[in-house]
Structures are given as C-alpha cells and as structure tokens.
Structure 1
Amino acid sequence: MRLTLPLIALAVAGCVPAEPVESTPPERGTGLTCNDEGLSAYIGREATAELGAEMMKAAGAGALRWVPKGAMVTMDYRTDRLNVHLDEKNRITRLNCG
C-alpha cells in the first residue's frame, strides 16, 4: 500500500501535457493591442517561427503564445498577446487574442 501512492503519482506525472511556448516574456505594457480579426487565412498552416512573426505583425500583437493540443494555459489576459492553438501535427487550428 505504501508504494501504491508514489507509483500513481509517477504515472500521472507522465501524462502532463506539453507546456505552451510564449515568444516574449510575460511583461506588461508593450503598448500594443492584438486584433485577431482577419487571421482565418492562417488556419490549417504549419506553425513556424517565420509564420509566427507574420501573424504577430498582422494582428498588431506584442507577444505570441503557441498552444499545443492538450496544453494547459494560464487564464491571465493580455491585450497584446496572440494565442495560436495547434493540432497534433503542428498545424494551426485557432487564433485568438488575450
């Protein structure tokens, strides 16, 4: 019985999803405001650093956060951040500011 709890904890720890990757530090005050309107053309495309920079420019964002499928993200709201949600094949499924 004493070994059961540590083994369960170890098994659960192996199931933790990947962390989202943010391209800028979580500082505030970039002075930019993200606008996700008109970004639907990026859905279905493969995520790359170059595409990320292009999407940030198109959205007027000061920060970019890649969100892999199944990843847990913080609920803090940033007016300058573009969130890019990805599927298991690293393709963009959704974009939103916040």
Structure 2
Amino acid sequence: MFRASLMSLLAVAVLAGCSNTGGSSSAPASVADNDGRCQASGAEFAIGKQATPALVEQARKASGSQIAHALGPRDAMTMDYRSERLNLHTDAQGVVIRVNCG
C-alpha cells in the first residue's frame, strides 16, 4: 500500500515538472480531454504564418490532433474524413490560409 502511494506521488511530481506554466510560445496549450480528436480552433494561430514542420507540429499539439499536415493548392488529398487529423491549407508561397479538421 505504501509503495503504491509512493509511486503515485512520484508520478504526480514528474508530471508537474513537465507542465508549461508560462513561456514565449505563441501557440496555445493543447486541447484537453478530446481523445485525440481535432479541434481546429486551437490551431488558428497558424494562419498567416509560413508552414514549417515546427509550425505544423505546434498546430497539431494545440488542436489536440494525432495527425497534422500542410496542404498546398496543388497537393493531392484524400476525401476520407478523419476526426484526429488537422489540415493546414497553404497558398502557393506556403503560408497557412485556412485550418480545418478531417
């Protein structure tokens, strides 16, 4: 019993150390309790920015999605809807113009 309590306390302490209470990131914190489903509103900060791999990853985390990718105006895309996927649509210069789930 004591060992289980000690392990639980240790796990809480480790997780608390991983939390981000401030900082300089312009991306919002990830969406909580969404079971990996995309919430595009969390990634709207990316609109107007260059779609770099780092930005795609920030947007994925902020939307709570499991998968994210950037799509250019001439890129092929699947027509299947996946609730855990974030799409960052870009213009010809690679600037994000729209975000949506699917």
TM-score category (smaller protein): 0.5 to 0.7
CA distance 1:63–1:38, shift in 2 (3 Å):
closer
Tell me the TM-score normalised to structure 2 length.
0.61
Alignment correspondent of 1:72: 76
Q: Looking at both structures, which has the greater relative contact order when contacts are Cα pairs under 8 Å and sequence separation is at least 6?
A: 1
Aligned equivalents of 1:80, 1:38: Cα separation in 2: 13
The 5 Å alignment of 1:1-98 reads 32-98=36-102
Alpha-carbon separation, structure 1, partners of 2:69 and 2:57: 11
% identity of equivalent residues: 35
Q: Residue 47 of structure 1 aligns to a residue in which SS?
A: coil
Q: What's the TM-score once normalised by structure 1's chain length?
A: 0.64
Name segments (4+ residues, structure 1) moved above 6 Å: none
RMSD of aligned residue pairs (Cα, Å): 1.3
Looking at structure 1, the residues matched to 73 and 53 of structure 2 have their Cα atoms a distance apart, in angstroms, of: 18
Whole-Å Cα distance in 1 between the matches of residues 63 and 43 of structure 2? 8
Structure 2: stretches of 5+ with no match in the other structure: 1-34
SS of residue in 2 equivalent to 1:37: helix
Residue 89 of structure 1 and its aligned partner are, at CA, apart by 0.7
Counterpart-to-counterpart distance in 2, 1:53 and 1:93? 17
